[in-house]
Amino acid sequence: MNFSPQWSTTDSGLRNLLMEMGRQVQDGWPLGSLYANLLSLDLQHHLLRKYAGGGYKSPVIKGGLPRPQLRRAMEFMNERLTTDLHLDQIAEELEISPFHFARAFRGSTGQTPHQYLLDRRMDEAKVLLKHSREPVGEIAIRCGFKSPVNFTRAFRERVGCTPTEWRMQAS
């Protein structure tokens, strides 16, 4: 496959992707690694589709959310990491049905909204465990878990060790 070294300064799609990446970098990737990976894939597909000689055809993703809606959903969830967030609240924010939102979110990300929320809570917990001396129980509540037991169970399932073990390894 040939790749054209000629970049178009008027390519609005490329400009928009790079501006979004720049905003995320400046803000420290607040929407997490999943959003970073999705933007990276968008950039790869855009470059191949527009500048690869030989007519690259990107794979068709059915049922996903448009990037602005996906970003808004992720922002909404991140702003409410500590609350008992319900699917209908997120869907209402996007003005779509909960069923459509759940299906479209998974189509866009490969994760359910619940899995995404758990990943973000785990990311936040890791930061708190590493940079504070708060008891694990307080970190659990701060990260949206109803009890330290639920937090420890979820942490062990997703990370492979308990929060206390992880804290000792991260120090």
* The CATH number fitting domain 116-170, selected from 3.30.70.270, 3.40.50.2030, 1.10.10.60, 1.10.10.10: 1.10.10.60
Check if the beta carbon of residue 162 is closer than 8 Å to that of residue 126.
no
Q: What is the pLDDT of residues 33-50, one digit of tens each?
A: 767 777 787 888 788 878
User: What φ, ψ does residue 2 adopt, rounded to 5°?
Assistant: -85, 145
Longest CA pairwise span in the chain (Å): 58
Check if the beta carbon of residue 71 is closer than 8 Å to that of residue 31.
yes
Average pLDDT of the segment spanning 75-104: 91
What pLDDT does 82 receive? Answer: 87
Q: What is the pLDDT of residues 39-85, one digit of tens each?
A: 787 888 788 878 776 666 665 556 689 989 999 999 999 999 888 88
The pTM is what?
A: 0.71
What pLDDT does 8 receive? Answer: 62
Average pLDDT, the chain: 86
Long-range contacts of 128-136 (CB under 8 A, 24+ apart): 129/163, 129/166, 129/167, 129/170, 130/167, 130/170, 130/171, 136/163, 136/164, 136/167
